[in-house]
Amino acid sequence: MPSGGEHLYDELWISLASLLRSYVALYSFHSNCQTTVDQNEEKIAICQHEKLFILARNHAFVTWTRENGDTGTLELTESGTLRGPVTEEPMDLVAEQWARELVR
CATH code, domain with 94? 3.30.920
Q: What does the mean pLDDT of the chain come to?
A: 90
pLDDT grade for 4, boundaries at 50, 70 and 90: low
Provide the number of structural domains found in the chain: 1
Q: Output the pLDDT for position 10.
A: 94
The pLDDT tens digits of the residues spanning 43-58 come to 999 998 888 999 999 9
Rounded-to-integer distance, Cα 93 and Cα 22, Å:
12
pTM of the model: 0.89
pLDDT at 3 exceeding the cut of 60: no
| Residue-range definition of the domain harbouring residue 9 | 4-103
Q: Do 40 and 51 contact (CB within 8 A), yes or no?
A: no
Q: Output the pLDDT for position 1.
A: 40
Average pLDDT over residues 26-47: 86
pLDDT at 93 exceeding the cut of 50: yes
Average pLDDT over residues 64-85: 96
pLDDT at 104 exceeding the cut of 90: no
